[in-house]
Amino acid sequence: MGNFNKMEVWKTSKDLAVQIYKITSKGKFSHDYSLKDQIRRAAVSIPSNLAEGEESIFAKVSIKFFSIANASLAELRTQIEIAKEIGYINDSEYYTLSESMVILSRRINRLIQYRQKHQ
C-alpha cells in the first residue's frame, strides 16, 4: 500500500482521464456542458478512487474505493456509448477509449480480487 502513482492501473486510469478531457474539449462537446461535465467527473473519479484506496492502510477500505473506481468506469463506459450514438465522438476515438476501458476494467477487477485474497 502507498505509492499510488507507481500503480500501472492508476497510470492507465489517469491517462484515460487526460484523453477524455482532450476529446471533450472540442467539437460537439463544447456546447453540451452537462454531458461533458458528467463524463469528466466519471473519468477523474477513477484514478482518484484508486489513489485513495491504495493509500488506505485498511484492506476493506481499499477494496471499497477500488470498487467505487470500477463503478465510475461503468458510468464512463455508458456515457461514452451515448456520446458515440449521438455523434459526439468518431469511430476512432470510440475504439481507442473502449479498448482502454476494457483493459482498465480487467486491471481494477484483478486488483480487487488480489486485495480480497490478501486481507
Place of cell 455523434: 87
Q: What is the pTM of this model?
A: 0.94
C-alpha–C-alpha distance, residues 57 and 119, integer Å: 11
Interval 43-96: pLDDT, tens: 999 999 999 999 999 999 999 999 999 999 999 999 999 999 999 999 999 999
Interval 19-40: pLDDT, tens: 999 999 999 998 999 999 999 9
Q: Encode burial over 23-46: b for 16+ CB neighbours within 10 A, e otherwise.
A: bbeeeebeebeebbebbbebbbbb
* Domains of the chain as residue ranges with CATH: 4-117 (1.20.1440.60)
Predicted confidence band of residue 119 (pLDDT cuts 50, 70, 90): confident
C-alpha–C-alpha distance, residues 23 and 91, integer Å: 13
Predicted confidence band of residue 108 (pLDDT cuts 50, 70, 90): very high
Residues 40 and 16: beta-carbon distance below 8 Å:
no
